[in-house]
């Protein structure tokens, strides 16, 4: 637990203030790692703060202000995360969209969003933003392969080389939205959920306290952050507890990277655990075989002394290693809870998944939401969001 009373420090009240605090307290310690070309790249807390301040300066030069939104269309990668924090540093809002959503459906949403400032993972995501035909001031992209940049489209890595740092202190206030999540209903209405810095930090503090998270944790960010649960139960705890956040090279390698890393904290979804369950079931010996009967005996509860000892070393521990849960002490499911048979299976392995549901409700609200408003639930507007 982080304590401030002894040092008479003011507790950070926003996400960028927590980043700033971690950089001052744990400057040289690792805050984030990501895999690129098969090699883990490490970033200290001071390096992370420096990159965020460089990026904030670029946004500021192009007119980004506390009323601005940065639309981010990307899979999990450090650049997207730091771009969001740069927007927060200037008091603005990050809008997180999932690039895995159906392009035709998402295009209607992009037409309705303010796209003055945006971040695209690569060429495919950049093309989606271009097709919206919306006026813009700045588009950033992380992966330059195949991109022929147009006016005001900048390569993320190139613009940060020896770039200046923003001199402003973090401008966001606790009540200001940090993220706005959008979706389009089947009736064509735009639904949005603003999440303030205060709300995110309250969620994060609940998790840090309940699970006794410390700087020694290793967490894996294998899912897109384009969901309220990931922002509240992974991003905020990371900044508050100061543990290491690890980003896989790509979604296709997330299982391999998790096995290699052996994270202590796994924040997955119903789909994450369901996919791992199906993969495991497909690899088990055939039903009725001697080997399968031994596996079932080792997993069954209650256990005798013999099954407890032999089952752990010959079945349960190897299965946890294969799944990448060898060191996991905080397995979480965000959003919808697990089906009972999947929850029971992981429990048999010694992986007791705790549910942290998304408490947000979807409901209609006729007036449009302004970006400066703070709300704790989803609302609907038929007008273009500001």
CA distance 90 to 77: 21
Strand order in the sheet with 138-141: 153-155, 138-141, 117-120, 69-73, 93-97, 177-184, 190-196, 379-381
Mean pLDDT value of segment 341-347: 97
- Number of C-beta neighbours around residue 49 at 10 A: 24
- The percent of residues above 90 in pLDDT, for the chain, comes to 65
Pull the structure tokens for residue 182.
């959008």
How does pLDDT run across 196-208, given as a tens digit for each residue?
Answer: 999 999 999 999 9
Strands (E) located in the chain: 30-36, 39-44, 69-73, 93-97, 117-120, 138-141, 153-155, 177-184, 190-196, 218-220, 244-247, 265-268, 330-334, 354-356, 379-381
Which CATH number applies to 15-202+360-381: 3.40.50.12780, 3.30.390.10, 3.80.10.10, 3.40.50.12280? 3.40.50.12780
Domain boundaries, the chain: 15-202+360-381
Q: What is the pLDDT of residue 73?
A: 94
Q: Identify whether the C-beta of residue 37 lies closer than 8 Å to the C-beta of residue 253.
A: no
For residue 225, pLDDT over 70 is answered with no
Mean pLDDT of the chain: 87
For residue 9, pLDDT over 70 is answered with no
Q: How confident is the model at residue 43 (pLDDT cuts 50, 70, 90)?
A: very high
Mean pLDDT value of segment 53-80: 94
Q: What is the pLDDT of residue 310?
A: 94
Q: Identify whether the C-beta of residue 182 lies closer than 8 Å to the C-beta of residue 191.
A: yes
For residue 132, pLDDT over 80 is answered with yes
For residue 264, pLDDT over 70 is answered with yes
What is the residue-wise DSSP string for 92-157? -EEEEE-TTS-HHHHHHHHHHS--SEEEESSHHHHHHHHHT----SEEEES--TT----TTEEEHH
Q: What is the pTM of this model?
A: 0.88
For residue 28, pLDDT over 80 is answered with yes
How does pLDDT run across 88-116, given as a tens digit for each residue?
Answer: 999 999 999 988 888 888 888 898 888 99
For residue 3, pLDDT over 70 is answered with no
């Amino acid at each position: 637990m982080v304590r401030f009373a002894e040092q008479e420090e003011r507790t950070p009240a926003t996400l960028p203030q927590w980043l700033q605090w971690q950089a001052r307290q744990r400057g040289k310690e690792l805050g984030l790692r990501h895999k690129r070309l098969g090699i883990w790249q490490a970033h200290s807390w001071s390096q992370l703060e420096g990159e965020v301040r460089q990026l904030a300066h670029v946004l500021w030069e192009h007119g980004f202000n506390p009323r601005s939104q940065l639309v981010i269309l990307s899979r999990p990668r450090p650049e997207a995360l730091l771009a969001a924090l740069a927007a927060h540093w200037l008091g603005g809002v990050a809008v997180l969209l999932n690039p895995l959503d159906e392009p035709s459906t998402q295009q209607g949403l992009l037409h309705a969003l303010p796209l003055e400032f945006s971040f695209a993972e690569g060429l495919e995501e950049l093309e989606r933003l271009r097709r919206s035909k919306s006026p813009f001031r700045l588009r950033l992209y992380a992966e330059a392969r195949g991109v022929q940049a147009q006016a005001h489209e900048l390569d993320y890595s190139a613009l940060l080389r020896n770039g200046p740092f923003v001199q402003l202190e973090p401008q966001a206030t606790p009540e200001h939205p940090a993220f706005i999540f959008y979706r389009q209903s089947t009736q064509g209405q735009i639904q949005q959920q603003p999440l303030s810095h205060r709300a995110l930090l309250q969620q994060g503090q609940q998790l840090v306290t309940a699970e006794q998270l410390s700087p020694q944790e290793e967490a894996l960010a294998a899912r897109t952050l384009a969901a309220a649960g990931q922002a509240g139960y992974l991003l905020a705890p990371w900044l508050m507890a100061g543990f290491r956040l690890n980003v896989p090279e790509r979604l296709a390698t997330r299982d391999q990277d998790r096995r290699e890393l052996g994270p202590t904290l796994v924040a997955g979804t119903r789909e994450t655990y369901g996919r791992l369950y199906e993969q495991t079931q497909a690899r088990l010996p055939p039903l009725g075989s001697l080997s399968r009967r031994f596996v079932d005996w080792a997993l069954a509860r209650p256990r005798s002394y013999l099954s407890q000892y032999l089952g752990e070393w010959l079945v349960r521990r190897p299965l946890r290693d294969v799944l990448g849960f060898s060191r996991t002490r905080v397995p979480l499911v965000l959003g919808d809870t697990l089906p009972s048979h999947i929850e029971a299976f992981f429990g048999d392995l010694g992986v007791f998944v705790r549910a942290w549901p998304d408490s947000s409700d979807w409901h209609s609200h006729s007036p449009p939401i302004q970006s400066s408003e703070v709300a704790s639930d989803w609302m609907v507007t038929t007008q273009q969001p500001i």
